[in-house]
Every structure is written in C-alpha cells, then in structure tokens.
Amino acid sequence: MTALRDAQLDAALAKTGGVPPPVTWIASDEPLLMLEAADRVRAAARGAGFDERQVFHVDRSFRIDALVAEAGALSLFASRRLLELRFTGKPGKELGEALADALEALPEDVRLLATSPRLDKATAESAWFARLARLGWYVAIPVVERDRLPAWIGERLARDGRRADAATLRLIAERVEGNLLAARQEVDKLALLFPQGALDAEAVRAAVLDVARWDAFDLVDAAVAGDAPRALRCLAGLRAEGTAVPVVLWALAEAVRTLARAAGARDAGRPAGQALREARVWGDRERTYAAALRRLDTATLRRLLRACARTDRIAKGVADGDEWLSLEAVVLVLAGASSLALEAEAAGG
C-alpha cells in the first residue's frame, strides 16, 4: 500500500485520472482532516463513475460477510460502486485478516474507502495490513499540534487569498482552543467578511468570537497532561455551557481509575510501559499518562478516587458541598497543581 501524506493525495488522484485504487485507507485522530481527505476521494470516485455508495460502520454488529456480499452483488443503479468502512477504534487481528481476504478478491468495478483513527505501529506493520500493500493507498494524517495551529490557520487563509500577521493568527488559535473544525469555521467566516489580501488585525479581533467548544475529554486530556490552566478553562467552559456534572465526573473518574490500575501494576514490579498497556493506555495517550504516573503516587490516586466518590454524593444531594468546586479540586490535584486542593475543598464543604 503506497503511503501518502495528506498533501500528496490530490496529485496521486490526478495521476490516476481521478480513479482511486481498489483500496484507500485514511487514518487520523483529527476528524476534520480525515473527513476532508475522504471527501476528496469520494468526489474523485463520483467523477470516475462510482456513483453508488454503501457505508459500513465497524462496530460490534459489523459482519465481514455483509461487506463481501455487497462487494459481489450486482447493482441495479450503478455499474461502479464505492464501499466505505468507518472504524471507530483500532482494527483487531481477526477482523484485519478477514478484511484482507475480502479485499484481495474485490471486483474491478468496486472501490473501498476505509477511515479509522490513527493506526499504531503494530497494526500498520502487521501481516494482514501488509497484504493490503499492493491494493492501494494508505494516507496517515497527523494531528495538528497546538503550537502549529497558527501556521495551519495561516495556510487555510492563504488558500482563499488572505493573510494575517502572526499576532492575529495566534489570537484565532487561542480562541478556538485547538478545535480544527472551529478554526475552519473562523477562516470561512473571515472569507465572507473581508476581501482578499492582508486582513486588518483590529477588524479580525472584533469579528472573531470565542468559539471554543469544550467536552469532558478536553478537560481530561489537559489535566492528565499536567496543564492546570487549560484544564481549569475547560472546566469553566463546561460549566458555562450547562454540561451535567455526572458527565464531567465520569470522564475524570475513568481517567483516575485508569491511572490507579497502571500504578497498581507498576507497584507490582511491571515496567511503566507494560503497566500502561495493561490499563489499556496506548497510542498518543501513553506519553501523557506515563508523565502523570511519574507525577502521582498510588496514595494520591486513591485520594482522588475517594474525592470522585464524594463529588458524586454531592451531585446526588446526599453530601454537603459545591459539586463544581469539588470537581475543581480533583482537576487541580490530577494536573499536579495542588496537593492540598482535596483537603481544602473537603474542609470547606
């Protein structure tokens, strides 16, 4: 499978006359970029006469024989068809081998587009994935790191013939809080509001709204990474948006439980990497969770679990206290900003 960068996809399609290869696999942990790349493949397939599209979601109910049957079925509506496989998690070995068997026998008038989260090294180098190598393209799209977001926004503006100074790009990046979809919406809005050319910094400042959209996993990522200021901004955003306390608490408690399991394995003598894998931590999360394990000892994690239980009782009205202050204390300790936050909050309650 030819490995392509996102920027190479259009050129590769042009070389084939717009006809995708039998298999195109796009993998990324950045939903917007994965969606945009998949849209370009879909558009090329439609232009090449693959007018009918069938989508399969790979979940617990997915059956490989349904994909095989669809691939081999005669269509009443189109002579060429595009089948899509949408993974929400890492494909396992059994499914991967069955998929390789099916795709090696793909009819000439059928193309397959697979989208998935980023594939780890073990999956990308597995025997079943190697069997797909001769069938098409593998497009692995990295996430846009926060320190590169201003440059990414600048590149998007340039596509529409606009440019902004570094301070303005940083302002937009700060307002969208790493959310690429929100960043693209801001770029689209600026394209509607301003003519091509250099953008006036003050006019952009007035036009750009605080479009940050928070979810509980943003909060967990920031806290586990030890970024207390961002974690507190996330928590404040969740509260302002009316997010239910149990939703936030569940995400935080799950992260604490995961760290506690890994800490238990570590204390039993397993290497940190093995301890994290036993706690089902892998991929991009491994680095931040490993740092959190170095920052938080087992006793602190147990205190955090007790604090989560106390927050739950407060939220249910069976204990006194402010549920949001209790969540804040958990966040501060998890992020390593304060070892006394739990005691202070409990005493205040």
Angle made by CA atoms 292, 285, 293, in degrees to the nearest 5:
20
Domains 146-207 and 216-348 share a fold: no
Instruction: Answer whether 0.75 is exceeded by the pTM.
Output: no
Task: State the residue for tokens 């902004």.
Answer: 164
Tens of pLDDT, residue by residue over 146-190, are: 889 999 999 999 998 999 999 999 988 888 877 888 888 888 888
Count CB atoms within 10 A of the CB of residue 347: 8
Residue 148 near residue 183, CB atoms below 8 Å: no
Taking phi first (over 0 means left), then psi (-120 to 50 degrees means alpha), and beta for anything else, what does residue 48 get? alpha
E strand or H helix that includes residue 140 = strand 136-141
Q: What is the mean pLDDT of residues 268-295?
A: 86
- The CATH number corresponding to 216-348 among 3.40.50.620, 1.20.272.10, 3.30.70.940, 3.90.1200.10 equals 1.20.272.10
Joined tokens for residue 155? 């590149």
Residue 271's nearest CA partner among 302, 279, 285 is 279
Determine the topology of domain 146-207 in CATH. Answer: Helicase, Ruva Protein; domain 3 (1.10.8)
Sign of the dihedral through C-alpha 340, 343, 345, 347: negative
E strand or H helix that includes residue 116 = strand 110-116
Determine the topology of domain 2-141 in CATH. Answer: Rossmann fold (3.40.50)
Q: Where are the domains positioned within the chain?
A: 2-141, 146-207, 216-348
Sign of the dihedral through C-alpha 307, 311, 316, 318: positive
Tens of pLDDT, residue by residue over 133-146, are: 778 999 999 999 88
Chain mean pLDDT for the chain: 86
Q: What is the mean pLDDT of residues 208-218?
A: 69
